[in-house]
Amino acid sequence: MSSDIDVPPAGVDEPAQRTSDRGAATRTALLNAARDVFCEAGFAQAAVTDIVARAGASVGSLYHHFNGKADLYLTLFDEFQARQQERTREAITTVRDAGETDPMRQFLAGANAYLDGSLGEREVARLFISGDGPPGFDRVMRKRLKRWARRNAALFHTDDGGVDEALVIVLTGAMAGAVSEVVQGDDEDASRRLADEMLAIVATIRNPRTEQR
């Protein structure tokens, strides 16, 4: 005798799965709403009530998923940086797989990908360099910059196996400044041209100590 009733596979708890899916959807909606409200109003002026209203959620659901407004902001920052790191990793891997061995060209490939990501998410990138963040966010930014510098350092080694620290500091600082400048403009084409011009200048940077060897 046939039946039209679907029986879930053994071990699958459908109500629990639906609850989990709803929770994930609510979390995503809250993050998207927070991003939009932060970008429009800034962190300091953003209200939790505005965020939950835009997300179609409740204040209680926000505090179920996050510790508050600052936690939303920091989560958005961490997720943006994770996307940026993946973009740069893929770009460097691609040029390496194509046979590129010059550290500077590898760095430039990653830097270009990072700038592309910043331009592609201009409003979010602008938010994080605006200076309008939760208390202590400046320390988070400094820590992130140091991590970025350490990743860059892996590309530049001296003849004795050490790290060309001066060059890494200059390049990392130059790129941080480039990101800050290109995301401020409202003309996407002009920002892209500026990014290309900055990368062309960065490409000329060399450590004079290395050049003299």
- pLDDT tens for 90-136 read 999 999 999 999 999 999 999 999 999 999 999 999 999 989 999 99
Phi/psi for 52 (5° steps) reads: -70, -35
Q: Kindly tell me if the per-residue pLDDT of 211 is higher than 70.
A: no
What pLDDT was estimated at residue 205?
87
- Average pLDDT score, the chain: 87
Distance (Å) of CA 207 to CA 104, 148, 165, 169: 11, 19, 10, 11
Do 210 and 166 touch, CB atoms closer than 8 A?
no
Q: What is the pTM of this model?
A: 0.83
Please report the DSSP string for the chain in residue order.
Answer: ----PPPPPTT--HHHHHHHHHHHHHHHHHHHHHHHHHHHH-TTT--HHHHHHHHT--HHHHHHH-SSHHHHHHHHHHHHHHHHHHHHHHHHHHHHHTT---HHHHHHHHHHHHHHHHHHTHHHHHHHTSS--STTHHHHHHHHHHHHHHHHHTT-B-TTS-B-HHHHHHHHHHHHHHHHHHTT-S-HHHHHHHHHHHHHHHTT---HHHHT-
Domains and CATH numbers, the chain: 15-66 (1.10.10), 69-212 (1.10.357.10)
What pLDDT was estimated at residue 13?
61
